Amino acid sequence: MATLAALAEAWWSNRISPDWRPRTTAESQAILDGLGLTGEFWQLPA
């Protein structure tokens, strides 16, 4: 649950900000990797 909360913070924190811009796949993958969500299951499509 702690990881889920950290993931939500990293993934959604700027979602309603006027400065929001689409993330690249690499940026999204870096969020997952940074939280230890690694391995084939957590690999976003190339």
Partner 1 sequence: MDVDDLELRNATYSLFVELGDAPSADAVANALELDVERVRDGWQRLHDAHALVLDEAGEIRMANPFSGVPTPHRVEASGRTWYANCAWDAFGVCVVLGGDGRIETTCPDCGEQLVVEVHDGRPDDESLVFHSLVEASRWWDDIVFT
Question: Count of residues binding partner 1 (CB under 8 A)?
Answer: 24
Least separation in angstroms between residue 36's CB and partner 1 is: 14
Selected binder of partner 1 within 26, 27, 35, 41 (CB under 8 A)? 41
Q: Is 11 exposed, middle or buried (0-12, 13-18, 19+ CB in 10 A)?
A: middle
Q: Are 29 and 11 in contact (CB under 8 A)?
A: no
Instruction: Rule CB under 8 A: choose which of 32, 33, 35, 36 binds partner 1.
Output: 32
CB of 33 to partner 1, least distance (A): 11
Helical axes 25-34 vs 2-12, angle rounded to 10°: 160
